[in-house]
């Protein structure tokens, strides 16, 4: 069940990369939301949004509510961290590399490339 939740949280949504980064940082030690925002160079509100999602799915836990609350990986996430790493490697490895001939991003995307 944890594997499915992690796939959904990491690969199934646009914010998966940031959630994975939060999980990775919290594996090392607990942080509050402000510290996470600083470490990950993300907006505080973005961090709070992802924390809320991760807490609802029991991936992380906190010492309480409010500005100074510290966030930790949940026992369930600690026990399944290897699964997280496997999913993260597979997810990150499946991303297509994009190469540009002139080392510039094209101004328009050719119609045949739009699905």
What are the φ and ψ backbone dihedral angles of 62, each rounded to 5 degrees? -130, 165
pLDDT, residue 115, reads: 40
Domain 2-113 has CATH 1.10.10.10: yes
**Coil, strand, or helix at residue 105?**
coil
Mean pLDDT (whole number) for 80-91: 88
Give bridge partners of residue 71 from the DSSP assignment.
31, 62
Using one digit for the tens of pLDDT, what is the confidence trace for 32-42? 999 999 999 99
Model confidence at 114: pLDDT above 60: no
User: Domain coordinates of the chain in residue numbers?
Assistant: 2-113
pLDDT, residue 103, reads: 45
Model confidence at 69: pLDDT above 80: yes
Helix (H) or strand (E) holding 70: strand 70-73
pTM over 0.85: no
């Amino acid at each position: 069940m944890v594997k499915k939740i992690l796939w959904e949280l990491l690969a199934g949504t646009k914010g998966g990369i940031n959630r994975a980064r939060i999980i990775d940082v919290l594996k090392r030690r607990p942080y509050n939301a402000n510290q996470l925002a600083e470490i990950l160079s993300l907006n505080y509100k973005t961090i709070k949004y992802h924390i809320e999602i991760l807490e609802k799915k029991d991936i992380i836990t906190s010492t309480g509510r409010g500005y100074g609350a510290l966030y930790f990986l949940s026992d369930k996430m600690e026990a399944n961290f290897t699964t997280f790493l496997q999913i993260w490697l597979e997810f990150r490895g499946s991303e297509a590399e994009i190469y540009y001939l002139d080392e510039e991003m094209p101004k328009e995307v050719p119609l045949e490339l739009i699905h």
